[in-house]
């Protein structure tokens, strides 16, 4: 049963305040040991981030090394989001993040995968096949933090190796789509910028002026991939404790992420 909207909004605001008061300090790296559950603990949900071979990007680097494009905002964004998920819902979520790649079958142990800077990703045929199998077997992929026309075209080159356009078209999500009303009703959304907004006052990067909320569905209509283009939700999670970063952006980012997680768990 859904709680009244006012109760949910109050709960989110209170939770965000708690995250700010007891959360991470700027430039202080989070300590995994402080937040981790026992390694063999059983939980309802586990978060994972996709590590991929990159052609380079805003963080430069090639291959899987720490600091590659896949690891932008990692691990703080992941840990802060997981703490919010645990505080703002009744989901028994594992309190630490996991990195998965496509060179083995470990990804099949994680129903939800988050990926960033996806304009830089590249796949071998074997990797693309494994990701396709993961999605068609019920997995869920959320992509975030890429901006503008050139990034979109680069993202598509990798995505179409995984899910061909003729069978799995990309569509815009409508305000009434179920995924925006699982827990929080967020039919009305706005662009969520990264921390660069504090310095520039711009909500956009490159030529990504308009946020695009898109998805790829399977043959039964289940959303397999959510595409957050021209926005940076991960940065909003990472800097939610920064007094200079506007609270409405952080709140929207948490609401979207939580609705996406809950959709993935119920579909």
For 193-203, the pLDDT digits (tens) are 999 999 999 99
Residue 124 lies in a domain: yes
When pLDDT is cut at 50, 70 and 90, the band that residue 207 belongs to is very high
> Is residue 255 predicted with pLDDT exceeding 80?
yes
Q: In this predicted model, what pLDDT tens digit does every residue of 29-65 receive, in sequence order?
A: 333 333 444 455 688 999 999 999 998 543 334 433 4
Residue 38 lies in a domain: no
Please tell me which residue, 10 or 138, carries the higher pLDDT value. Answer: 138
Give the domain CATH number at 143. Answer: 3.40.50.12140
For residue 169, how many other CB atoms are within 10 A of its CB? 11
What gap in Å lies between CA 115 and CA 245, rounded to an integer?
23
**Percent with pLDDT over 90 in the chain:** 77
Residue 136 lies in a domain: yes
- State the residue range of the domain holding 17: 5-22+43-266
6-20, 109-123, 141-155, 172-186: range with lowest mean pLDDT? 6-20
Residue 172 lies in a domain: yes
DSSP 3-state of 140: strand
> Is residue 184 predicted with pLDDT exceeding 70?
yes
Q: What is the pTM of this model?
A: 0.84
Beta pairing, strands 53-54 & 112-116: unpaired
Contacts of residues 20-24 at CB distance under 8 Å and 24 or more positions apart, as own/partner, are 20/240, 20/241, 20/243, 23/80, 23/83, 23/240, 23/241, 24/76, 24/79, 24/80, 24/241
Res 9: pLDDT? 42
| Half-sphere exposure for 240 (CA within 13 Å, toward CB) | 35
Exposed, middle or buried by CB within 10 Å (0-12, 13-18, 19+), for 49?
buried
When pLDDT is cut at 50, 70 and 90, the band that residue 144 belongs to is very high
> Is residue 14 predicted with pLDDT exceeding 50?
no
**Geometric angle at alpha carbon 39, from 123 and 134, rounded to 5°:** 30
Phi, psi (deg, nearest 5) at residue 115? -140, 140
Q: Which two tokens stand for residue 164?
A: 């061909």
Res 28: pLDDT? 33
Mean pLDDT over 200-223 rounds to 98
DSSP code of residue 67: T
Number of domains observed in the structure of the chain: 1
Res 96: pLDDT? 82
Res 4: pLDDT? 46
């Amino acid at each position: 049963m859904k709680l009244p909207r006012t109760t949910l909004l109050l709960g989110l605001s209170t939770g965000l305040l708690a995250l700010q008061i007891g959360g991470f300090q700027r430039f202080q790296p989070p300590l995994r040991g402080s937040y981790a559950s026992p390694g063999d603990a059983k939980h309802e949900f586990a978060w994972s981030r996709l590590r991929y071979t990159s052609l380079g990007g805003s963080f430069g680097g090639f291959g899987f090394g720490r600091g590659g494009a896949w690891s932008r905002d990692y691990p703080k964004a992941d840990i802060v989001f997981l703490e919010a998920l645990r505080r703002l819902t009744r989901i028994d979520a594992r309190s630490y993040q996991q990195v998965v790649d496509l060179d083995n079958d470990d990804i099949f142990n994680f129903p939800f995968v988050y990926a960033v800077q996806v304009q830089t990703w590249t796949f071998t045929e074997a990797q693309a096949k494994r990701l396709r199998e993961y999605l068609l077997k019920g997995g869920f992929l959320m992509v975030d933090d890429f901006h503008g026309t050139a990034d979109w075209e680069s993202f598509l080159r990798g995505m179409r190796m995984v899910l061909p356009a003729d069978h799995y078209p990309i569509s815009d999500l409508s305000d009434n789509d179920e995924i925006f009303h699982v827990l929080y009703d967020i039919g009305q959304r706005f662009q969520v910028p990264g921390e660069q907004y504090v310095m520039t006052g711009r909500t956009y990067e490159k030529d990504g002026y308009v946020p695009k909320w898109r998805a790829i569905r399977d043959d039964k209509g289940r959303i397999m991939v959510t595409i957050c283009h021209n926005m940076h939700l991960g940065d909003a999670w990472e800097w939610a404790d920064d007094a200079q970063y506007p609270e409405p952006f952080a709140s929207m980012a948490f609401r979207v992420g939580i609705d996406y997680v809950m959709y993935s768990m119920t579909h």
